[in-house]
Amino acid sequence: MAGQGPILSSVESTTETDTNGLTRTEVAERVASGKTNAFSADTSRSAWSIVRANVFTLFNGIVFACFLVLFLVGRWQDALFGLAAFANAIIGCVQEFRAKSALDRLALMNAPRALVLREGVQAEVAPGEVVLDDVLILRAGEQVPADARILTSHGLQIDESMLTGESDPVEKQPGDDALSGAVVVGGEGAAQATRVGADSYANRFAGEAKRFSLVSSELRASVDRVLKWVSWVIGPVGLLVLNAQIIVGGGYATVFSSGAWVQAVVNTIAALTAMIPLGLVLMTSIAFAVGASRLARRQVLVNELPAVEGLARVDVVCLDKTGTLTVGEIGFDAAHPLAGSTTELSGTAAAVTELSGTAAAVLSWFAASPDANATARSMGTAYPVTQPLVVRGYVPFSSARKWSAVTFSEIPGAWVMGAPEMVFGDAATSDATELGRMVTTLAETGRRTLVLGRSETPLSEADIESEQLPSELTAVLVLTFREQVRPDAAQTLEYFTRQEVGIRIISGDNPRTVAAIAREVGLDVAEGYDARRLPEGDAELADVLDRHSVFGRVTPEQKKRMVTALQSHGHTVAMTGDGVNDALAIKAADIGIAMNSGSPATKAVARLVLLDGQFSHLPDVVAEGRQVIANIERVSMLFLNKTVYATLLAIMFGVLVLEFPFLPRQLSITDGLTIGIPAFFLALMPNAARYVPGFLRRSLSFAIPSGVVVALGLTWYTFVARGLGVHEEQLRTGATVILAVVGIWILAVLARPLNRFKVIVVGAMFVLLIAVFTIPLAREFFVLVDPGEDLAIALTGITIVMVAAIEVVRLLHRRLVLSPKTATTTRVGARPSTATTPPARVVAGIITTVVVVLAYAFGVLATGFGILVFLGRYDPDVSTSAFSLAGAAIALFGLLVLAVAAGIRRGSGLSRLMLTIFLGVAIALNAVVIVFGDRWDWGAAVTVLVAATLIALMWSPPVARGFGRIRESSMGAARP
């Protein structure tokens, strides 16, 4: 076959295998003995690992167990909480299967083919079909499928940067080794496979890297810790509650003989499922999935959902130079003429112009020569071929000599291009020569240098035969080359610097070159650290990494050690890269980021894959992660508050032997409408708050005291209800009303500062609660009845006390736990303080304080009055009367007034506008109660009077001047 001869003509081996390749029989023998290149390196996570991570969790185990018990006892209506577990598992699996599918498609599209010689005939096979001792045909652009020993070489150059990090192509000679995964960039040759399958160099990395480990996630770890705490107490608490429910039902003998044990079991499961933060796990998965979808639109593939959070916590980013900061290609920089070169060649001005044209023609030939390497080819744009030159003699480039020489028919003399020190010796590095000074100065900038020299004497046959330089060479030009830096690299690194994220550049390339690239992308680096001098001890290595930021000559194993050393000093580390040599470090890092141009093994273990290779997407990932963390921290307080009060209620009701005041389906109302649904919207809102460690501590510091308030309030209510002698369904309805109203208030408190969107969310949840309590079908399903006038008055008073206590808890939480900046937010619209305050401002300040106090008072008054109107039901024969709905609406707007009152103190124009609207609606609703009621209602009259007074005061000239514009409101700036 054409082309075989030149490739194998210089084979020194006399074996038939080396000459003609393996026979069919020899291939079959090797296949039978397992000596093939087949290797099952996963291109992504396995389907089983995805299912296991999302389905077989402690959370799902507890929930499904309770779910199954309710189905077995025939109470499916109370098993609605199981939907959260199903949704959580489905969302996680679907998102990660989508990522797996995308990675697998990419791997299939990029799968290489191998060219082998068998029985003297070239054949194209899949890389996995290569067997030991196969003769591999290597040509430019092809990938080496297995580790091999070079048999023949005709200008064969192989790029091993994906394996070793060294960006310079390596010229291979017979007897040299070629590593699997390397790419042929020039020339051609043949090689014999020496290691195949799992034994090959690249697959050893892939084999170690494919051992999967979950990404570190503070959110997931915190939720898992809460679930673990719940799992420790859920058994004893469950037995305690079950015992209390059986005793309340008449004792063990009675409940088992009468069948009342079913209700005891249902009550117990209601207590236990309330203890589990069902929605928090689901909400975290949804936030991760939405974040992953947003990133996918920016060409960032998320391999594992919690990785969306991970990069927001990173404080050190380790960057591989080749393929990450640079595009992995060499680029021509400039030609630097030497001052004395024109004089030595010709003393006339005309000769200078002639030389410039001649030099350009020579450089264009070197750039377009058949065996030009990547460095020479990069000059083609600057020096295109305008007139072909006829070659009379030529010494091809060799990586050993590092120069090439040529003589042309049209141009006298000989021309040489190569490494300065290899062409001119010590003169190229000496300060005593102009060439040496120029080469040294340019090299210190990190640019690669070549020299173009000229001899008056053309190449002789002896020169060409012995591959020696022509005599009396004179340096004409110094040529500089630089790696092409990604255009987005400097901007991205500047972003990380502003965010106080440390940068470590680690590469297998020369330390000086790496340092120069680092300076080019904006890092203040004097020189690179040679990794060959790195200490062996982990502690000493970590110290070196703290002091230096740029490292060269780093091996793949050292990259992994460097990542773990940084982690040992408490850093959260991200590692970017594209080569197989980066796979181990990417896997060891907290967040691994791979370029799509990278190897399948690297992309398989990476948490994130930049599909278009744009480094500038990393700030988008950081922003998305910060939004997830900040919003989940906000909504986690809702869920953990429920866990705290549910656990305390279960313990107290078990110890006090009281019947649990809720059915599971009734808890589904409060869970869904005061926590789950609004949390979904809050978790997806824009939020750029910077990550601060301590998510669980901050969440629990609010959830625990607020949960204690709710638990004590419901226990107090239960004793009051028992004292009034109400029946079981009335007690449960009243407890559900209290929990719903207090839950809405906690939602409004945590949603502060409110904006239009948050007001709509809070208001919509209250409207849905009203619908549940007024629509007959819903009331029947959730077993809700009229609590009666006496119980309505009692629960209204208890609710107001609980709301006030929650407000105190949140105030202390913001002042003592959250950032001082949050507690001392500057009032929008306020003027700078002066030495003397004008009397008008003093009056305005006093009136503003009165407005704030009245706003809080109105909120409490309207909420309490609205609950009474709602539960009093002026017309008892019509459960959905206009008065019932009006009362519920008055309570809603009372809560909203409480929620936005804090913005008045800050001078928020948006708060004033919202408060005016809420007060106006409240006046209209109370007017309905006064006009259409069967008696004069003093509560409604007082509410109208206070609301009208508030509106007048807020818009009075002295106070109005202290408010900012609506669009300048501070309500979106504070931390959650």
Show which residues are catalytic: 320
Helices 618-655 & 261-275 angle (0-180, nearest 10): 140
Amino acid identity of 473? Answer: L
Q: State the residue for tokens 């690299």.
A: 489
Q: Judge contact between 662 and 269, C-beta under 8 A.
A: no
Bridge partners, 577 (sequence order): 594
Helices 618-655 & 728-751 angle (0-180, nearest 10): 150
Q: Judge contact between 505 and 615, C-beta under 8 A.
A: no
Q: Judge contact between 172 and 153, C-beta under 8 A.
A: yes
Burial of 343 (0-12, 13-18, 19+ CB in 10 A): exposed
Rounded to 10 degrees, the C-alpha dihedral 142/146/147/149 comes to -70
Q: Judge contact between 888 and 868, C-beta under 8 A.
A: no
Q: Judge contact between 585 and 560, C-beta under 8 A.
A: yes
Tokens standing for 858? 């109105």
- Decide: helix, strand or coil at residue 449: strand
Cα dist from 197 to 42, 148, 779, whole Å: 14, 12, 67
Task: Classify residue 321 by its DSSP letter.
Answer: I
Tokens standing for 641? 């508050």
Bridge partners, 320 (sequence order): 506
Look at the alpha carbons of 407, 410, 413, 415 in this order and tell me if their dihedral is positive or negative: negative
User: 313: closest CA among 226, 219, 213?
Assistant: 219
Distance from C-alpha of 510 to C-alpha of 498, rounded to nearest angstrom? 28
Tokens standing for 566? 């940084």
The pairing of beta strand 147-159 with beta strand 170-171: antiparallel
Q: Judge contact between 292 and 95, C-beta under 8 A.
A: yes
Number of DSSP helices (H) and strands (E) in the chain, helices first: 39, 21
User: 666: closest CA among 714, 725, 712, 723?
Assistant: 714
The pairing of beta strand 170-171 with beta strand 135-139: unpaired
Q: Judge contact between 418 and 479, C-beta under 8 A.
A: no
Q: Which residues contact 808 (CB under 8 A, 6 or more apart)?
A: none
Q: Judge contact between 378 and 162, C-beta under 8 A.
A: no
- Decide: helix, strand or coil at residue 687: coil
Q: How would you label 219-252 residue by residue, b for 16+ Cβ within 10 Å and e otherwise?
A: bbebbeebbeebeeebeebbebbbebbbbbbeee
Q: Judge contact between 942 and 913, C-beta under 8 A.
A: no
Bridge partners, 334 (sequence order): 480
Q: Judge contact between 731 and 721, C-beta under 8 A.
A: yes
Q: Which residues contact 409 (CB under 8 A, 6 or more apart)?
A: 389, 390, 391, 392
Tokens standing for 946? 């206070």
